[in-house]
Chain A
Amino acid sequence: MLAQLDSLKTEALAALAAAQDESTLEAVRVNFLGKKGSVTALSQNMREVPADQKKDVGAKLNDVRTAITDGIESKKLALQAALDAKAVEGIDITLPGRPGTGNGALHPLTQIRDLAIRTLRRLGFILAEGPEIETEFHCFDALNTPADHPARNEKDTFYLPDGRLLRTHTSSVQIRTMEAAKSLPIRIIAPGAAYRRDEIDATHLSVFNQLEGLYVSNDVSLADLKGTLEAFFREIFGPNTAVRFRPHFFPFTEPSFEIDVKLEAKGKDARWIEIAGCGMVDPAVFTAVNQSRGDNLFDPETTTGFAFGLGLDRLAMILHSITDIRHLIENDVRFLQQFAA
Chain B
Amino acid sequence: MQVSLSWLSTHLDLSSYSVAQLSDLLTFAGVEVEGIVERGVTTDKVVVAQIDSFVQHPNADKLSVCQVNDGSGTPRQIVCGAKNFKAGDKVPLALPGAVLPGGFTIKEGKLRDVASLGMMCSGKELGLGDDHAGLLILSPDSPIGTPFNQLNPADVLFDLEITPNRPDLLSHLGLARELSALTGIPLKGQRDYTKTSTPTKLETSNLKLETPSACPLYTARLIKGVKVGPSPEWLRRRLESIGLRPINSIVDITNFVMMEMGQSLHCFDLDKLNGSIVVRNASEGEQMLALDGQTYTLQADDLVIADQKRAVAIAGVMGGEETGVTEATTSILLEAAYFTPSNIRRTSRRLGLSSDSSYRFERGIDPQQVAGGSELATKLILEIAGGTADDVLLVAGETPVLTSEITLDDDRARKLLGTPDLSSDEIRSILTKLGLTHQNGRWTVPSYRADLQRPVDLIEEIARVIGLDRVPSKMTAVAVPSDATDRAYDFAMTIRQALVNRGCFEAQTLRLIADAQLPDTLGGGTGVAVKNPLSEDHTTLRPSIIPGLIATAALNIRQGTDRLRFFELGRVFLKLPNGNSREEERLAILISGPVSPSSWHARTPQAADIHELMGIITNLPGLSRVSIEPKAVKESPANFLLTSELRAGNRNLGWIAQLHPSRARDISARHPVYVAELLLSALRQGSTGPAKFEELPRFPGMTRDVAMEVPADLPHAKVAAFFASQKEPLFIASEVFDVFTDPTGQKIAKDRKSIAWTLTYRSPEKTLETAEVDAAHTSILSALEKSLPATVRR
Contacts and interface: CB of A to CB of B under 8 A. Distances in A.
B471 A222 contact: yes
Contacts of B460: 247, 254-256
A195 B538 CA distance: 12
Given A126-B483, A206-B534, A283-B456, A337 B505 contact: yes
A102 interface: yes
A125 interface: yes
Interface stretch (A35-43, A78-86, A154-162): A154-162
Contact of B507 (A103, A186, A283, A331): A331
A333 B556 contact: yes
Given A127-B489, A227-B473, A246-B28, A133 B528 contact: yes
Contacts of A198: 534
Given A148-B345, A159-B532, A206-B510, A103 B477 contact: no
Nearest to A281: B456
B27 interface: yes
Interface in A238-259: 244-249, 254-258
Nearest to B503: A101
A159 B482 contact: no
Given A124-B477, A197-B534, A333-B561, A102 B596 contact: yes
A139 B785 CA distance: 65
Nearest to B341: A148
A46 interface: no
Contacts of A329: 508-510
Interface string A176-210: 00000000011110000101011100000111000
Contacts of A13: none
A205 B528 CA distance: 19
Given A129-B485, A133-B573, A99 B599 contact: yes
B509 A148 contact: no
A98 B602 CA distance: 9
Contacts of B505: 104-105, 107, 331, 333, 336-337
Contact of B468 (A126, A222, A254): A222
Contacts of B493: 114
A334 interface: yes
Contact of A226 (B468, B489, B531, B571): B468
Contact of B508 (A224, A255, A328): A328
Interface stretch (B290-298, B410-418, B685-693, B786-794): B410-418
A228 B418 CA distance: 13
Contacts of A230: 473
Interface in A263-309: 280, 282-283, 304
A57 interface: no
A223 B510 contact: no
Contacts of A48: none
A246 B27 contact: yes
A104 B463 contact: no
Interface in A92-142: 95-96, 98-107, 109-110, 114, 117, 123-129, 131-133
Interface of A is mostly: mixed
Contacts of B660: none
Contacts of A333: 505, 556, 559, 561, 564
Contacts of B535: 199
Contact of B600 (A96, A217, A283): A96
Contact of B571 (A109, A193, A217, A220): A193
B163 interface: yes
Contacts of B163: 248-249
A93 to B, nearest CB: 13
A202 B430 CA distance: 44
Given A106-B496, A247-B463, A117 B531 contact: no
A333 to B, nearest CB: 5
Contact of A158 (B28, B342, B533): B533
Contacts of A187: 478, 480
B203 to A, nearest CB: 34
A332 interface: yes
A106 B480 contact: no
A166 interface: yes
A248 B529 CA distance: 35
Contacts of A131: 583
What 4 A-B pairs are tightest by C-beta distance, nearest first? A223-B418, A221-B418, A247-B30, A249-B163
Given A101-B503, A101-B596, A224-B418, 19 more contacts: A98-B599, A98-B601, A103-B501, A104-B500, A126-B486, A132-B541, A133-B528, A159-B531, A161-B531, A193-B511, A206-B538, A215-B476, A221-B417, A228-B476, A245-B468, A247-B30, A254-B457, A255-B459, A336-B505
Interface of A: 95-96, 98-107, 109-110, 114, 117, 123-129, 131-133, 146-148, 150, 153-154, 158-162, 166, 185-188, 193, 195, 197-199, 205-207, 215, 217, 219-224, 226-228, 230-231, 244-249, 254-258, 280, 282-283, 304, 328-334, 336-337, 341
Interface of B: 27-30, 32, 163-166, 342, 345-346, 349, 415-419, 454, 456-457, 459-460, 463-464, 468, 471-483, 485-486, 489, 493, 496-497, 499-512, 528-535, 538, 541, 552, 555-556, 559, 561, 564-567, 571, 573, 579, 581, 583, 595-597, 599-601
30 contacts: A96-B600, A98-B599, A99-B597, A100-B503, A102-B597, A104-B502, A104-B505, A110-B506, A133-B581, A148-B349, A150-B345, A153-B349, A158-B530, A158-B531, A160-B528, A166-B541, A185-B480, A187-B478, A195-B512, A205-B510, A207-B511, A222-B416, A222-B419, A222-B468, A246-B27, A246-B28, A247-B29, A254-B456, A331-B555, A332-B556
